[in-house]
Amino acid sequence: MDDLTFEKALRELESAVEKLEVGELTLDESLELYEQGQKYAAFCGSQLEMAQLKVEMISADGNTQTVEI
């Protein structure tokens, strides 16, 4: 997941959800896809949290302060 972007992870998550909703997978395939979906969801959540922190750190004069997380 080193070169994974938020947008790509979101697309992968949406794809996994669509496949699971169709219900044509075996139990093992469903479990594997669910696990992958959980990883994409966690990645997206993390990216959104970092973006929120960055927005909150923008000062009144428009300068961005870098925060190490």
Q: Which two tokens stand for residue 13?
A: 């998550």
25 in the Ramachandran plot: left (φ > 0), alpha (ψ -120 to 50) or beta?
beta
* Res. 11: pLDDT tops 90: yes
Nearest-CA neighbor of 33 among 22, 45, 44, 49? 22
Residue 56 is predicted with a pLDDT of: 75
Distance CA 46, CA 9 (A): 11
- Partnered with residue 58 across adjacent β-strands are 64
Is the pTM higher than 0.75? The answer reads yes
Distance CA 8, CA 11 (A): 5
* pLDDT confidence tier of residue 68, bands split at 50, 70 and 90: low
